[in-house]
Chain A
Amino acid sequence: MDISQYLIAEHRECDVIFARAEKAAAEGDFTTTKDEFLKFADETLHHFKKEEEEFFPAFEAATGSAEGPTRVMKYEHEQVRGLLGKMAQAIESEDKDAYLSLAESLMILLQQHNMKEEQMLYAMADRLFPPNAKEELIEKMKKVAP
């Protein structure tokens, strides 16, 4: 399996859960919003952890640079984490407009982040690592605790 295949599947999974949470919020159903949002936040943060603990260090070691694209990706992860916190507050106060507004920002931020990862970073990693190293890296990522 390619690294891109594995990580892109996680992006798509997060998108689907995000959309379910947004739909529930748009309908004013905050119980479902909360459930779905928590799933989305857990999945997203777990994905970030896999990248930050395993994928980025491996990529940095292979390219010899920790100051390039991975630094920007980590910075964007922080921005997403900040927004997730604010969205959780909006759910607590059942503020539909605030939630939908934050969801809008988060989605654009996340989508452009994903595009950069998918089109550049993952694609480079697929070319950079030999097949056995890819399998090994994927196995390591699978073992990262949530």
Chain B
Amino acid sequence: MFQNSGLSLEQAPPIVVVLRFFITGSIFGVIASIMLFFIGADIANFSLPQTIALTHLFTLGVMGSFMFGALYQMLPVLCGVHIKGADLLALRVNYIFIFGITALVAAFFTNAIVLYIVATLFLAYAIFFTAFAMLGQLRKIQHNNSSRGMMLSLTALIVVAVLGITLLAIRGGLAIDIDYLWLKEMHYSFGLFGWVSLLIISVSFQVIEMFYVTPSFPKGYAKNLPIAIIALLFIDLFFSSLNPQIRSILQLLVVLLIAFHAGFILLRLKQKKRPVIDATILFWILGEGAFIAFAVALIATFYVTLPPLLLVVLFSFFPLSVIFAMSYKIVPFLVWFHLNAQGYFNAPMMHEVTPPSYAKRNFYIFLGAFVTAIIAVFLPVVWYLSALLLMIAFFMLFLNNYRAWHKYQEVLESGEKFSFT
């Protein structure tokens, strides 16, 4: 039955839930960028503990935090899912998640078994608890384009976590007869193409149309694309160990599907009815463009030798860019919406919460980080500059989100409220 009352105040989660995760994510972004600064050229060596730690700071710390925050907000709005006690649940998960990531990063650096165990317990709790709670609710609803993809993305996240825990157990000394490298590849594959990409795809089905007023994505396409991607990933998981040659074909297919959708998003943005080009559109264009470049580079590796780090850089800026795009749209809107819905006369308008010029400045710094990261693949000394720019970009995101939170509190404490009595 109809549950989709989304943005009505009683259904929307408290603003603090979203902001807490977004602020956490941007702080992890600053920390990860500082780490990148110190790792510098060594980033090309993927087996170094610091590189693995950095990868997890970006994936779990940044992407994971933003994903949790966005899902708590979007499940009620886009899918009609109501998560009971979202504020308390989110608070608990937020702290446990932060602690788990910190323990994991420390474990990679020290190789201490106790830290691996602590990280496993905390991260498993945060991820499984949230994913299963959300999946449990998602199972009950009548699906739309976004909700189906979100379900599959959360399923992929569970697979990523199970594979990750197995990898940690092996690192911690557990003897299992399993190909470690294959397991690691599956962990990456489900993480990047399953969890991260599927989430972006499913979110895009609704928000591109909603935020920029574009034609909608065809229904059959939106329904089947996430299913096709997850199906290919599972075929890869279950059958590629039998025939390793299938691997590259399956992965290429997955990448082509995601790249096709990236192109589709760019087309839709070109067809948008609204004339204004704000920073969030630029972030979407950069992110989707980065994925298309990643796909092209991947195909090129069949013919020429390219540094693997180039592929990593191109892929990484895809979700990171989308995170900025979503954050700069969602946060100012939520501040206005929550205050307005509570009857405050002086609820700040979106542009007062975060002036468009701030977001645009942030985009150019982020673009600088992207361009310099590509140059750094070939000229490693530039990593320092790229890391610095990325750190500034995340710090600006943090400041703007924090300012938004501060503005919200300010109105809450001193604002004039319309009385309903």
Chain A interface residues toward B at CB < 8 A: 15-16, 18-19, 22-23, 26, 68-69, 72, 75-76, 79, 82, 97-98, 100-102, 104-105, 107-109, 111-113, 115-116, 119-121, 124
B336 touches A (CB below 8 Å): yes
Complex: how many Å from CA A82 to CA B345? 11
CB pair A115 B274 closer than 8 Å: no
Q: How far is the CA of A51 from the CA of B182 in the complex (A)?
A: 57
Can you report 25 residue pairs joining A to B where beta carbons are below 8 Å apart? A18-B274, A19-B274, A22-B276, A26-B276, A69-B4, A76-B7, A98-B351, A101-B350, A102-B349, A104-B333, A104-B350, A105-B336, A107-B213, A107-B274, A108-B210, A108-B329, A111-B209, A111-B211, A112-B78, A115-B78, A115-B206, A116-B5, A116-B6, A116-B80, A120-B142
B186 to chain A, nearest CB (A): 35
Considering only residues 245-287 of chain B, those with a C-beta below 8 Å from chain A are 273-276
Which one of A22, A100, A115 has the highest number of Cβ atoms from chain B below 10 Å of its Cβ? Answer: A115
CA distance A39 to B213 in the complex (A): 18
Q: Which of A76, A100, A105 contacts B8 (CB 8 A)?
A: A76
On whether the beta carbons of A105 and B80 are closer than 8 Å, the reply is: no
Q: Is A97 a contact partner of B4 (Cβ separation < 8 A)? A: no
Binary A-proximity of B343-385 (CB < 8 A = 1, otherwise 0):
0000001111000000000000000000000000000000000
Q: Roughly how many angstroms separate A144 CA and B47 CA in the complex, as a whole number?
A: 69
Docked pose: A119 CA to B223 CA in angstroms: 14
Given contacts A68-B2, A120-B80, A124-B2, contact A101 B349 (CB under 8 A): yes
Chain A residues with CB under 8 Å of B213's CB are: 15, 18-19, 107, 111
Besides A16-B273, A68-B2, A119-B144, 16 other A-B contacts (C-beta < 8 A): A23-B275, A26-B275, A76-B7, A79-B340, A97-B351, A98-B349, A105-B336, A107-B274, A111-B210, A111-B211, A112-B77, A113-B7, A116-B6, A120-B2, A120-B80, A121-B2
Q: Which residues of B lie under 8 Å from residue A82 when comparing CB positions? A: 340
State the total of A-B contacts with C-beta under 8 angstroms: 84
Contact: A105 with B350, CB < 8 Å? yes
Whether B276 lies near A100 (C-beta < 8 A) is: yes
Whole-angstrom CA separation of A105 from B8 in the bound complex = 15
The interface residues of chain B lying within 8 Å CB-to-CB of A102 are: 349
Bound Cα distance A98, B213 (Å)? 20
With known contacts A19-B275, A124-B2, A112–B7 Cβ distance under 8 A = yes
Query: Could you say which of A75, A101, A107, A119 contacts B352, with CB atoms under 8 Å apart?
Result: A101
The answer to whether A108 touches B333 (Cβ under 8 A) is: yes
- A113: chain B residues at CB < 8 Å are 7
Within the complex, what minimum Cβ distance (angstroms) separates B79 from chain A?
A: 10
Contacts of B275 in A (CB 8 A): 19, 22-23, 26
CA distance A124 to B142 in the complex (A): 11
Write the nearest CB–CB distance from A2 to chain B, whole angstroms: 15
Please measure, in the bound complex, the distance between the C-alpha atom of A111 and the C-alpha atom of B273, giving whole angstroms.
13
Chain B residue with the shortest CB-CB distance to A114: B210
Residues of A within 8 A of B209 (CB): 111, 115
Q: Contacts of A16 on B, CB cut-off 8 Å?
A: 273
A124: B residues at CB distance < 8 A: 2
Is B190 an interface residue, CB under 8 A from the partner? Answer: no
* Minimum Cβ distance to chain B for residue A90 (Å): 9
B348 to chain A, nearest CB (A): 9
Q: How close is A109's CB to chain B, nearest CB, in angstroms? A: 7
User: Quick one: closest B residue to A68, CB to CB?
Assistant: B2
Closest to B418 in A: A82
